[in-house]
Amino acid sequence: ALDIRGAGELTGYEAAQRLLQMADSHSQFFDPFCGEVLQSAAVEDVYGLRVSLRRATPAPLAVLAAAEAKTASPQQAAWPGRFQEAPPIDGGRRFLRTQPETSNDSPPPQEIVEFELLDSYAVLDALRSGRIDVVERVAPAELAALKTDSRVVVGQYALPRIHLLAPNPRQPLSASATFRRAVASAIDRANILKDVFTPAQRAAGTQVVSGPFPVARNPSDVWGYAADSAVEPLPYEPAIGLTLLRVAEDELARGAIAAGRASPKLETLVIGHGSDPLHTQLCRVMTEQLTAIGVAARHETIADDDAAARDACHFWYVELAMREPAVDALQLFSPDGLALPDDHLALALRGLQGATGWQQARDALYRIHAIVHSRQTVIPLWQTVDNFAVRKGIRGAGADAVSLYDGLDQWRPALPASTVDAKEAP
């Protein structure tokens, strides 16, 4: 029997429904870890849940906690279906509550309209004037000014975000561990950190990382258990990076000759990314650094649905939040995840899957951290502590949130606005 009052805002019924859907391989909410360990889930009372597992696991509620972090839209945040997408309005993505609440004088949001605005000055002007209510992420350059603005409340997300370069398995060069280590050695992550992020962000925990897991900022950060502090980030060594690049090309050429194929050659290294302005800025600086040491490189903004353009990239810029590393690691490094197939990593993942206690799980996560660092299965870059901004008068938005829409039912708009929230890209 489990008490789920620590698992977000779910009732026992909603938690049971969520777990069963996550264990169903035919459901859009399917989670391989949940499907493997969950045998049954039934409601006991409002916040009580009886769960049967096929095998012991150190965190029965970890799947629920990890699922709560995946709140990229109101539909996901209010799962299982309190919001549905409606026809767009004024160029914005629109969501309506499926069962409008009229039982009290201050109901939660009934309508949400999202706009993606790439001009940070336009975003801040709209926030200050009341044309939008919430900014999902404040650009580092605007953070200090917003914190002194009496019309705006700036908050900090509860968990840091991990930034990675995910290699493209369809590109022979990025599939090479030697090539990935060459690229990692040629990126001056420490100086990029100083140039892009503010001292306040760095003091809050924004830093270079050596692996895929969040680093604890203080002893109370319980989610930091997966990162091994003994593993140091790769140093910036451009000369070694260039040498390793030539070694990787030579290794691939010899392999191609032995297989009777043409040798792959690096003409231009391509890093793909989405439309987020911060990602664009960081990728631009990285490609400039690579170009400066003689590696032709460029970055490209690519739509999520442009599969052909993504396949042409050597790396894809990824940002993610890990609420429960013991679960998220299995998803991140699954066959459908971000990392390339790796026998050493697969063995460590099997150890994590079979863990029956926290010490076993932590040991397995430390092994995963060491393997990722050694083979650069993904290239770890930074951990960032991000901020959101809320127009004064909006209550509940962002409180203890991992992502914007956590706690959506606790939001209370400033009356008389009818369209409650706009999610922005600074």
The pLDDT value recorded for residue 374 is 94
Q: Over the chain, what is the mean pLDDT?
A: 83
Residues 221, 346: one domain? yes
- Identify whether residues 176 and 130 lie together within a single domain: no
140 and 180 together in one domain: no
pLDDT at 39: 81
164 close to 384: Cβ distance less than 8 angstroms: no
Rounded distance between C-alpha atoms, residue 417 and residue 400, angstroms: 24
- Report d(CA 352, CA 311) in Å as an integer: 31
Domain containing residue 13: 2-68
Write down the pLDDT at residue 79: 46
Which of 20-29, 121-130, 310-319, 323-332 is the most confident on average?
Answer: 310-319
Domain co-membership, 64 together with 99: no
Whether 245 and 208 share a structural domain? yes
Q: How far is the first Cα of the chain from the last one, in angstroms, to the nearest whole number? A: 44
What is the reported pLDDT for 3?
52
CATH number at residue 288: 3.10.105.10
Question: How large is the average pLDDT for residues 11-20?
Answer: 77
pLDDT over 90 (residue 195): yes
pLDDT (0 to 100) of residue 71: 46
Do 379 and 270 reside in the same domain of the chain? yes
pLDDT score, position 104: 67
- Give the containing element (helix H, strand E) for 255: helix 238-259
Please give the share of the chain, as a percent, with pLDDT higher than 90: 31
Q: What is the pLDDT of residues 258-277, one digit of tens each?
A: 888 887 777 899 999 999 98
- Verify that 281 and 353 share a domain, yes or no: yes
Top mean-pLDDT range of 60-64, 162-166, 307-311: 162-166
Q: Nearest 10 degrees: CA dihedral of 415, 417, 418, 423?
A: -120
The least confident of 166-180, 230-244, 407-421 is 407-421
Residue 193 and residue 285 in one domain: yes
pTM assigned to the model: 0.81
pLDDT of residue 64: 58
Q: Residue 80 and residue 363: Cα distance in Å, rounded?
A: 35
- Of the candidates 6, 15, 22, 79, which has an alpha carbon nearest to the alpha carbon of residue 50? 15
Integer-rounded Cα radius of gyration of the chain: 23
Question: How many alpha carbons fall within 13 Å on the CB side of residue 190?
Answer: 8
Helix, strand, coil % (nearest 5) of the chain? 35, 20, 45
Coil, strand or helix at 346: helix
